[in-house]
Structures are given as structure tokens and as C-alpha cells.
A and B are shown apart, each in its own frame.
Chain A
Amino acid sequence: MKISYSWLKDFVDIDIAPEELAEKLTVSGFEVEEVIYQNEHLHDVYVGKITKIEKHKDADKLQVCTVDVGDKTVQIITSATNVFEGAVVPVSLEGADLCNGVKIKPTNFRGVKSDGMFCSGEELGIDENYIEGGGVNGILILPENTKIGAKIEDALLLNDVVFDVNVTPNRPDCNSVIGIAREVSAIYDVPLKDVDYSYKTCGGNVNDYISVEVKTKKCPRYMASYIKDLNLSRSPLWLRSRLFACGIKPINKIVDITNYVLVEQGQPMHAFEYNHLAGKKIVVRDAKKGEKIAVLNGNTYELDENDMVIADSDKPVVIAGIIGGVNSCVEPSTKETVFECAVFDLKSVRLTSRKIGVSTDSSMRYSKGVYVDTPVKALKRALHLVNELDAGKIVDGIIDKCDVKSKAHSFTASMSKIDKILGVEIDRNRVLQILNSLGIKSSLSGDKLHVEPPYYREDIECENDIAEELIRIYGYDIYNNLEGEAFENSSVTVGAYEPRLVFENNLKNELVDFGFYETLNYSLYSSSACDKLLIDDERKNVIKIANPISEELSTVRTVMAHALLLDIKFNLSVGNKDLRFFEVGKVYQPKALPLKELPVENNRLSIAVCEDGYDFFMLKNVVENLLVATSLKYKLERSTEPYLHSGVSADIIAEDGKKVGYFGKIHPKVLKNYDISHDVYYAELDTDYLSSLKEKLYSVKEVSKFAEVERDIAVVVDEEITNGELTSAIKSACGKLFAGAELFDVYRNISLGENKKSMAYKIHLLNEEKTMTAEEINAVINKVLKSLEYRYKAKLRA
């Protein structure tokens, strides 16, 4: 919210550098996001009077003007056609740096010197609303009585400093100049001044002109007054200047007064065109279902009974607290008006404002909260301004429909509890001084702190609230020099990690050692992800976001692979090679759709590799190494994952039959869907399951005194026979003597026969009791060969 410094000074006598005030406001809870100097681009611009105009000798379109700028006379060359001798104009001289980025320096126009430039309204950052002539396509002609030689910022009252303050939702009372002034008064401990609320009426009786009926519970107060013989000319410059500083467009006296009160008092108002109020009646009511209203922003909205309107006897004329209907507002021809000064339920305004997508200065304040006492002073202030601006004649009497009394709210707090919350004792006199300066009437007897917050501080309810008020005004610096440590007076607790995090971290570190890079992807993706991964309808029960940011982020992920494939695609596209990625993240499986209860959140480790020369068995090695430190007992089966190559992939099945992971080559069709032209290997592990396993326990056997012996064999078998089958046959044939068997070569050649391969094993044998003789070793190897021949028709390779 924008707050004008000069306006603030109406309420507090301060003379503090704007930066310092901004810093103070920030550290007391009102963050100043920006300090704006209105005159930033107005230096070196003065008011000048054109005393003589001559044609340029060598340029038809240029005029040479002699200009009196007070202390000197300058020469300005212009092509503008709206200047004339005697005109009072803004003159920018050397050094000026105008709003539109133009920088001024003396220039030569075909042999004639120009000391600067005349300015248009646009170049000074203003428009027709601000000042007559401000919007013309030409030079801004100032009123004749403007002081010659004055700085333009002073002549146009563009010399204010504006604070852009971030007001938190708990302080709706500070969405106003007076609210911020109250804070400044407390921060600097200076008295709060008030402005003039007095006004004179012209007789008559408001009730003869208008009646108000409130037919909804959502309007706790509605005040109205009637003004006739309106004068809708421009407001005085000082008022326009203030509105302009706050980013509000000046329009005419009556509208400007309502906006002025809005900014100053935080009270939204509305001024009705009286003659459009059918039945001379104002009815505050819930809208009817299907009721339509055309409003000032050019749109027509259809309302229902959750919305609130201000109506006359026939039709809705305003969406309550948000925006006026096209026929309800003051127009240049308006002669009489009714001022509305009301309180509407914040939830109602908020809901309607969100529903129809219309946010105004009024709705912003109503949806944060306007207090039931606020309209009283605000309406008086508006009427005072009507007098001051001579904007019309106020008829006697104010209509005030109010069914809620402002609750006098007071309570007793425990001072020692406040000390405990703060962890430090603030001097008691200072406590009372701070609270009273904030308008919170306070007294202390023993431990009992009696407080009576003002009506606009409904947020003060308990010790914690008082503690906050004290410390934010006292200053958090107090803790900087405070002796002691954290938790001096509290329990000792022992820290720990969730076991899954420890497990996942171990896996991550291991993968890093294997040359992998950790990625992070969004857990939202496009609804087409499952299709691209060939996931069938049955598994496509994905959770959709009701209000997604975009299609790309419309679905909660159920599969990790999608994002990693996109990462690979992206990296390949920018020329990166040798990609080894992993990511630990969640997938979300709904129990039923639409979602009635929370989905299951499952934690996964996913791995993807795209690298020349990489193969299934390299990935298998990674997976085996990750699993070896766990107590998982598993077997591999051909994978059923739809996005993996059916021949080059495996599912990891735990002893209890649960699939705890899978790995393999990405299906060629999937690669095509992602437009990836290299092989990609992918693995996924269920880290919830794996981290829940019992810790791996070790039971070490005595190391044999005797050395192992090795024998190599190579057998020729049919292609279909697997390494798994052969190794387990070797193992059982060796019996107790088995100490390992490694496949070290696979050889295929037509000389071996059709559909045949040679598998070469290194067999390790060990007798725990003695050194084996050559005969004993040969006997075992023969047994192995016989067994392989019997079971798999394996022939010893010649």
C-alpha cells in the first residue's frame, strides 16, 4: 500500500529522513518495500514564461523561444505548435533526466542554440487527470499565475515521498494513512494529531430524500448522507496530488473525496447518482440467484445468494463493497448524491471478489476487514471535505443502520507469562508506555496486566499478542547482547534421523561414487506422461490438480521415469554426453478416484543412464551393489514394466513376493515417444520397503587354512540355457566343495552349431579339511560336466 509522507505529517509531527523512517517501519512490522521520490525525474525543470517567439531561419517547423525562467533568460527551440508568447510552461534545462528517459543537454539546431526543452505532461509523469493540459499532445501550458522560476515539482506539487508499505493481514487497521500514523506515533513516541471532522449542513432532513433498509446479516453497519447542489469540478491540486501519489486517478470533487477518505481513514465509500436510485431507496441484501449486474469495468456478472448487493427498489446497483454498477455512480451531470459509508462482512466480500475476479481498492480493504466504528469518523471526514472543497450542500442528518455494537474488549494478562514468552524482562514502565502509545490502555498491578485495546485492535487477544507488540516496538536488538544459551530452562532431547532418510542418503552417496549425478524434478507433470510411457489404463489412475498452473504441471506424478527421460532428452539436446542420473522422490498413488482420502506417498530411487557402451549388466552391477548392504533376499524375474524393453529388463522380487524394484533398457517405443535416439537404461527401487527391512546382520565363518583351487571349463549349450541355470547346476554338483563359479566368457560361432553358445566358467573349490589332490579335483570337475550334460545337454568345448 502506498502512503504519502506529506499526508502522514497531517497526523504526526515528524521530520525524519524518509530512509530512516522506512527502516524503522520495517523493523516494527511494516515492511517498506520501496521509498519512491516523486521528484526523482523532475530536477532541473523550472516554470518559465515565453516572452518572445521567432521562426527558425533554416527550419520551417522550428520556433525559437525566449523564455524567462526567473533568475535568467534562456533560449529554447521547439517544434510544438501549442506554445504562444506569454505561455507559462515547464522548461527542462541541462542535467534534467525526464520520466520518459530523455536527458537534457544544450543542443544546436541548424546553427541556433537551444538551452533545453519544453515538457509535456507525459515527460513529467502526469496526465490530463492530474492537471488540465497534462494529456495534450504538445507542451503542458500551466496556469498563468504559476510562479515563474519555481521548481516544477513545487509548482505541480510533485514533491512528495511515497512509502510502499507491506501491511500484514492481521493489521487491517493499517491499510490507511491514519493507521500507519498511529504506528509512527508509537515508534517515535510522538503524539497523534487528528484532522478536522467538523462540517456544516444546510438544513432539510436526509430521511426526506432517501431511506435505507438492510436485509442481510452480512452488513453490520450502513451509514448514508445526502448532498445536493453538487459542484463536480476538479479537486484542488493538493488533494489531486495526494491521490496521485497513492496511485489513484483524480476524477471530480465528490469521487475524489470518497477516495481520499478511503486512503486516509481506510474506509471505502461510494457516491450514488441519486436520480438513478429507483424509489429513492437503498436496500442492502443478498443477491438473487441468477441476478445480473453491469458494472464500471465494462463487464456484466451473474450473482447468486452468496453475493451481496446494494439495490434500489427495483434492481441491484452495486456489488457490495466491490464495484459500482454502470448507472449507480456520480457522472458529470449529477446534481445530487448519496454517500455510502458501510461495513460489510469480510468473508462475503472476499468470496465474491475472488469468484468474479474483481479486486478494487474498496474490496481489498473490505476483505481484510473494516471495523464497525470506522465509518462514523470517516463519514464526518468526507462531509468536512465537502464543505472544504465547496462540493455541494449537505442536508441535515445521517442515516445509521447499525445492529452490532462495537465490543469493548479488555482482558487481564499475566506479566510473568509475557516475560516467559519473550525470555527477557522489559522494564515495567516501558511496557506501559509502549502499550499506551499504541492506543492499548494498560495498567499493571503485581503480575496482572490489564489491557484495553482500541476497537481497531481486535487482534490483541492474549499474552502472546501483547508480547509481540512490546518486542516489536522495543526492538529485537535486545537479544543481541543477552547472556545465555538456547534451551537453558528446558528438556534435553536426543536428535535422530528418520531411518529412511539415512538409508536414502547412503544410496545417494554410493551412486555418487559410481559416477552418478543427483537430479531434482518437479513432482507434477503433464497428463500425457503415462501415455508416453505406455502405461495402460488400469495403472493410469492419476491424481489431477483442480487448478493447475499449466498442462505441463497438471498431474501429480505416479512414475519417476518421465522426468528423468525428459532430463536426458534435454541434456542430449544441449550436447551433454555420458549422462548418469539419479533422483530420490515421491510418487503418489490414489486409493480411489476422485480422491476421498489422502493418497499413498511412496518414496522411490530412480536411476537413468545414457552413455555409449553402457549395458544391462553394468546397471545390474549398480543395483546389486546398492542392495548388497541391505538384508534383502531377492530373485530376478523378467520385468513386466511397460516402459522397459521386455527382453532386457528384470523385476526385483523380494522373498515375500513383493516387487521392490526393476531395471533394464527403456522400451524402444518409449524412446521414440521422448524423441531420444540413444539407448537409455533405467532402474527404480522402493526405498520405503528397503529402508523398513531389518538391518543386515553378519555371522562370520572361520577362514579356511587351505587355499582355494581353480579350474576353468567351457561348455557348449543351447542359447536358451541361462547362466543362472548353469551356475546353480555347478554349485549343486560341487556340493560342499563349492566356493564360487564365475562366468568369464561367452562365445558364439557357427562352428559351435546352430543356436549354440559356449559358456566358460572359473570354478573355485575348497576343502575345509585338507589340501585337495589332483585326482580329487578332477573327480569333482567330471561330476560337474556330467551334471551339466545330463541337465542341459552341455558338451565340454573341445
Chain B
Amino acid sequence: MKEKLEQILKDAQGEIEKCDDVKMLDEVRVKFLGKQGELTSILRNMKEVPPEERKTVGMLANGVREKVEEAIAKKGEKLNETALKLAMEKEKIDITMPSKGEKRGALHPLTRFNNKFMDICVAMGFTVIQGPEIDTDYYNFEALNVPKNHPARDMQDSLYITDNILLRTQTSNMQVHAMEELKPPFKIVCPGRVYRNDDDSSHSPIFNQFEALVVDENVGLKDLMKMIDVILKKLFGENVKMRVRPAYFPFTEPSIEIDATCQMCQGKGCSLCKGTGFSEVFGAGVVNPKVLEMSGIDSKKYSGFAFGPGIDRSVMVTNKIPNIKYLFRNDMRFLKQMR
């Protein structure tokens, strides 16, 4: 009997192993474990076994049954796995086909640059403010130490609306508004559009500037230089080099112009930087005490510095935009490249 059971187990294992699909496996299950199955019939005929052997044979038979059941379950799992794999193989798709749904658009590169710049300034304690683009002569010129008929007015051909009202030629008008409205100490930065009576291949009549102003006790050129060093590194990377040239702005004294490694050619020299490897990024300087006084700030107690980059050029070089006129042309073939 024992031998018979062992033979059954062996046969069953052999047949289970041979099964290729679930159906065959089910047939094997019926053959051994079904109502007419070989094992079932042994169990059913237990009464024919001598009583003293019944317990042993019974245990043995049940053991065989469990083993067969287990083998079938295991095989079943394996077969299912294979079947699923096959099915998925059939469902394979071309993953290079286009995606569906809304495609992202893009911010204008100028906005991106502005945001980056503003984030840097805000992190340094600056408040971002905005103000009028159409302003009076006083805010755009006089209060910045550029009286009527001052030679510095030649540097900026203005677009006038009336004798006294004009489209601001510089965001520096915001220096005056800020000094009138805020109490020192303060740090402000104002991005915005400025306007000049100038339109040719390398100039737009409308372009963009930033104006940053710090008024406090004990601030000077060193703070300005150290701060600009940080800003340039954050804007253009740690390797950026900076070059300072003295300059003239009526509202700052000393005044400087700051050049940074040309981002178009990484300092190698190109047509944009006229081979110098540098391009101008900021005008800056220590606020002229006359300007502080005109806006009601005590120049004995407070000092300040201001800086203002023209940003269109920086936007151009950081994005390798070949022509400044792209910035206002709104050609999708350009804008799509900004995604």
C-alpha cells in the first residue's frame, strides 16, 4: 500500500511537471484528486485496509494528497505567471509615440531672467516694488541731479508727452519715489520698462532695466562691490569674472560700470563683446548726497548705493539669443525654444 501511494505521488509529480497550460493541469488534478481520482479511491477504500495499518496508511495518503495539491498550486501559479507575461507581451506599445494632452508653453526669457534676479535680491533683503512708467521730469531727471539743459540729458533721448511729462528713460525714477516714501534703512529693487527715442538694429525704443537702491547708515562702495560679486556669481555662475570701469551718472558719485565675462562666448571674445570677452551688465555707484538731500534724506547720517542693469542684453547672452529684436517679435519659432 505504501509503495502504491509513493508510486501515485511520483506519477502525479511527473504529470504535473509535464503540464503546459492550466487546462492540462486541471486534468491532472481530476485524475489524481477528483472524485474518481486515484488517490481519492484509495482513501475511499480505507475500510479494506487492516485496522492496525489504517492510521499509518491514512496519514500517508493524506500526506501524498497534500503534496500533490501543493505541487498543482505551485505549477498553477507558474503557469499563470507565464500566461500573464505572454499577454503583456502582446499588449506592448511603441513608447516613442507622442504624448497626449496639454503641452506646456513657456515663459518669456525676460520674465525668467527677471524672476531669477528678483529672487536673488529678495534673498538679500530687497523689497521688489514697481512704479510709474509715465512720470514727470522731476522724478526722471531733476531729482536725480539732472537739471534742465544738463549735458547728461544728451545721453538719453527722451520720449515726451508734454513738456513736463515723459516716458521714463530709466528705472532710476523709482529711486526718488522710494526715497520719498520709505524711511531708511531700506533696500529696494524695481524691474521695469524704460523708453528712449532710439530705434535701430542694436537698440529698441523700449527696453528693460532693474533699479536697486540701498539707503542706510554705513553703506558704501565696498558693500556695492561685494554685493555685485555675489549677484553676478548667482546669475552667471561661480566662474564669472568682473571688470570695473569708472563712469558718470549724475545721481551717483563715485559711479562705475561693471562688465562681466561675456556669456555669449564665455570670455573667448565674440562679435557681441567686440572681442573683449566682457560685456557691460550694471551701471552703479554711491548715491550722490545731493540726490539724497533733494528727496529729504539726511546725507550726513545716511548714505546709499544704487545699481541698475539693463537686462535685455543679459537675457540675450544667457539664452544665446542671436538678435536683440527677437525679444519683442513674439515669433513662436523663438518662443517654443524657451520651453
Binding site for B on A (CB under 8 A): 26-29, 31, 168-172, 346-347, 350-351, 367-369, 420-424, 462, 464-465, 467-468, 471-472, 476, 479, 482, 484-498, 500-501, 505, 508-509, 511-524, 543-550, 553, 556, 567, 570-571, 574, 576, 579-581, 586, 588, 594-595, 598-599, 601
Contact between A168 and B248, CB atoms less than 8 A apart: yes
Would you call A601 and B134 a contact (CB within 8 A)? yes
Mark B205-245 against chain A: 1 for CB-CB distance below 8 A, else 0: 11000000010111111111111001000000000000011
Option from A489, A543, A598 in Cβ contact (under 8 Å) with B132:
A598
Check if B161 sits within 8 Å of A595, measured CB to CB.
Answer: yes
Query: A517 touching B125 by the CB < 8 A rule?
Result: no
Chain B residues numbered 146-169 whose CB sits less than 8 Å from any CB in chain A: 148-152, 154-155, 159-162, 165, 167
Contact in complex: A490, B162 (CB < 8 Å): no
Interchain Cβ contacts under 8 Å between A and B, 12 examples: A420-B218, A423-B221, A424-B221, A476-B246, A495-B126, A508-B107, A516-B105, A522-B205, A522-B328, A548-B159, A570-B330, A570-B331
Selected contact of A586 from candidates B102, B133, B254, CB within 8 Å? B133
B162 touches A595 (CB 8 A): yes
User: Size band of the B side of the interface?
Assistant: 35 or more
The answer to whether A588 touches B134 (Cβ under 8 A) is yes
A residues less than 8 Å from B118 (CB atoms): 497, 501
Mark interface residues in B196-207 (1 if CB within 8 Å of A CB, else 0). 011100000110
CB distance from B293 to the nearest CB of A (A): 11
Q: Are A576 and B227 in contact (CB under 8 A)?
A: no
Instruction: Decide if A495 touches B125 in the complex (CB within 8 Å).
Output: yes
Q: Are B134 and A599 in contact (CB under 8 A)?
A: yes
5 nearest interchain CB pairs? A423-B222, A468-B254, A168-B248, A29-B246, A169-B151
- Whether A523 contacts B133 in the complex (CB less than 8 A), given A511-B105, A576-B331, comes out as yes
In Å, the complex CA distance between A169 and B148 comes to 14
Query: Judging by beta carbons under 8 Å apart, are A579 and B332 in contact?
Result: yes
- In the complex, which residues of chain B have a beta carbon less than 8 angstroms from the beta carbon of A465? 253
| Interface-central residue, B107, B118, B161, B336, by most chain A CB under 10 Å | B161
* Given A420-B303, A495-B124; 11 other pairs, CB 8 A cutoff: A421-B220, A468-B246, A476-B256, A484-B226, A486-B224, A490-B185, A495-B122, A495-B127, A498-B128, A514-B102, A545-B160
Tell me, yes or no, whether B117 is within 8 Å of chain A by CB: no
Chain A residues lying within 8 Å of B95, measured Cβ to Cβ, are: none
Chain A residues, CB < 8 A from B316: none
Please give the distance in Å from A437's CB to the nearest CB on chain B: 16
Residues of A with C-beta under 8 A to B221? 421-424, 467, 471, 479
Contact yes or no, A493 B223, CB < 8 A: no
Contact B206 A523 (CB under 8 A): yes
Which residues on the A side are within 8 Å of B330 (C-beta)? 519-521, 567, 570-571, 581
A512-B106, A545-B160 in contact; A27/B220 too (CB < 8 A)?
no
On whether A601 and B133 interact (CB within 8 A), knowing A29-B245, A468-B254, A476-B256, the answer reads yes
**B328 contact from A472, A518, A520, A586, Cβ within 8 A:** A520
Cβ-closest chain A residue relative to B198 = A549
Q: Which residues of B contact A509 (CB under 8 A)?
A: 107
CB-defined interface of B73-115 with A at 8 Å, one 1/0 digit per residue?
0000000000000000000000000000011111110110001
> B326-339: contact bitstring with A at CB < 8 Å (1 yes, 0 no)?
01111111011010
| Most chain A beta-carbon contacts within 10 A, residue among B122, B149, B336 | B149
Max count, chain A CB within 10 A of own CB: residue among B105, B129, B187, B224: B105
Most chain A CB within a 10 A radius of its CB, from B121, B199, B214, B330:
B330
> Of A497, A498, A512, which is within 8 A of B105 by CB?
A512
B160 engages A576 (CB within 8 Å): no
Assess A520 versus B108: contact at CB under 8 Å? Given A367-B151, A491-B216: yes
CA of A519 to CA of B332 in the docked complex: distance in angstroms? 9
Q: Which residues of A contact B244 (CB under 8 A)?
A: 27, 476, 479
Q: B123: CB under 8 A from chain A?
A: yes
Q: A468-B246, A576-B331 are in contact. Are A462 and B125 (CB under 8 A)?
A: no
Shortest C-beta distance, B127 to chain A (Å), equals 5
A324 CA to B115 CA, complexed, in Å: 55
> How far does the alpha carbon of A472 sit from the alpha carbon of B248 in the complex, in Å?
12
Distance in angstroms from A626 CB to nearest chain B CB is: 14
Are A29 and B222 interface neighbours, CB within 8 A? no
Q: Measured between alpha carbons, how far is A556 from B159 in the docked complex, in Å? A: 11
Q: How far is the CB of A550 from chain B (nearest CB, A)?
A: 7
Given contacts A479-B226, A508-B111, contact A28 B248 (CB under 8 A): no
| Assembly CA distance A465 to B286 (angstroms) | 10
Min distance, Cβ A582 to any Cβ of chain B, angstroms: 8
A289 and B129 CA atoms in complex are apart in Å by: 49
Determine if B130 is an interface residue (Cβ-Cβ < 8 Å): yes
Q: Specify which chain B residues have a CB less than 8 angstroms from the CB of A346 in the assembled complex.
A: 149, 151
A547, B107: Cβ atoms closer than 8 Å = no
Q: How far does the Cβ of B108 sit from chain A's closest Cβ, in whole Å? A: 4
Shortest Cβ gap from B277 to chain A (Å): 13
Beyond A350-B149, A421-B221, A423-B222, whether A598 also contacts B108 by CB under 8 A is no
Please tell me if the beta carbons of A498 and B129 are within 8 angstroms of each other in the complex.
Answer: yes
Q: Flag if A420 contacts B220 (CB, 8 Å).
A: yes
Interchain CB contact (< 8 A) of B286 among A28, A31, A467: A467
For the complex, give the distance between the alpha carbons of A491 and B223 in Å.
Answer: 12
Q: A512-B105, A517-B106, A549-B205 are in contact. Are A479 and B222 (CB under 8 A)?
A: yes
Also in contact, A512 and B104, with CB within 8 A (given A493-B185, A501-B130, A520-B330): yes
Q: Which residues of A contact B124 (CB under 8 A)?
A: 486, 495
Which residues in A have their C-beta under 8 angstroms from that of B175?
none
Given contacts A579-B332, A594-B162, A595-B165, contact A494 B149 (CB under 8 A): no
Would A517 and B133 be within 8 Å (CB), given that A168-B247, A471-B221 are in contact? no
Tell me the bound Cα distance from A680 to B313 in angstroms.
33
Enumerate chain B residues within 8 angstroms of A581, measured Cβ to Cβ.
330
Which of the residues A368, A505, A515 comes within 8 Å of B102, measured between beta carbons? A515
Q: Is the CB of A493 within 8 A of B187?
A: yes
- Which listed residue (A31, A485, A515, A545) contacts B103, Cβ 8 A? A515
Is B193 part of the contact surface with A, judged by Cβ < 8 Å? Answer: yes
Which of A350, A519, A547 is within 8 Å of B197, CB to CB?
A547
The answer to whether the Cβ of B289 comes within 8 Å of any Cβ in the partner chain is: yes
CB distance from B131 to the nearest CB of A (A): 9
Complexed CA–CA distance, A497 and B160 (Å): 31
Instruction: Please tell me if the beta carbons of B286 and A496 are within 8 angstroms of each other in the complex.
Output: no
Chain A residues with CB under 8 Å of B187's CB are: 493, 495
B288 at the A interface (CB under 8 A): yes
The CB with the most chain B CB atoms within 10 A, among A26, A493, A495, is that of A495
A350 vs B148: C-alpha distance when bound (angstroms): 11
Alpha-carbon gap, A501 to B119, bound state (A): 12
Interface contact B186-A493, CB-CB below 8 Å: yes
Q: Which residues of B contact A26 (CB under 8 A)?
A: 245
CA distance A497 to B114 in the complex (A): 12
Inter-chain CA distance A238–B85, complex, in Å, is: 97
Residues of B within 8 A of A479 (CB): 221-222, 225-226, 244
Contact, CB under 8 Å: B219 / A522: no
A517–B165 contact, CB under 8 A?
no
CA distance A632 to B199 in the complex (A): 42
Q: Flag if B223 contacts A347 (CB, 8 Å).
A: no
Query: Which residue of chain B has the shortest Cβ distance to A482 in the bound complex?
Result: B222
Cα separation A85 to B129 with both chains bound (whole Å): 80
Q: Among the listed A472, A505, A512, A523, which residue makes an inter-chain contact with B115, where contact means beta carbons less than 8 Å apart?
A: A505
Residue of A492, A517, A548, A556 near B134 (CB, 8 A) is A556
Contact across chains for B127 and A169 when beta carbons are under 8 A apart: no
How far apart sit A25 and B197, CA to CA, in the bound complex (Å)? Answer: 30
Given contacts A522-B328, A571-B331, contact A490 B246 (CB under 8 A): no
CA distance A595 to B329 in the complex (A): 31
The distance in angstroms between the C-alpha atoms of A514 and B103, with both chains bound, is 7
Give Cα A762–Cα B167 distance, bound, in whole angstroms.
Answer: 56
Q: Is the CB of B103 within 8 A of A484?
A: no
Complex Cα gap A135–B148 (Å)? 45
Chain B residues within 8 Å of A350, by CB: 149, 151
Considering the complex, give the chain A residue whose CB is closest to the CB of B146.
A169
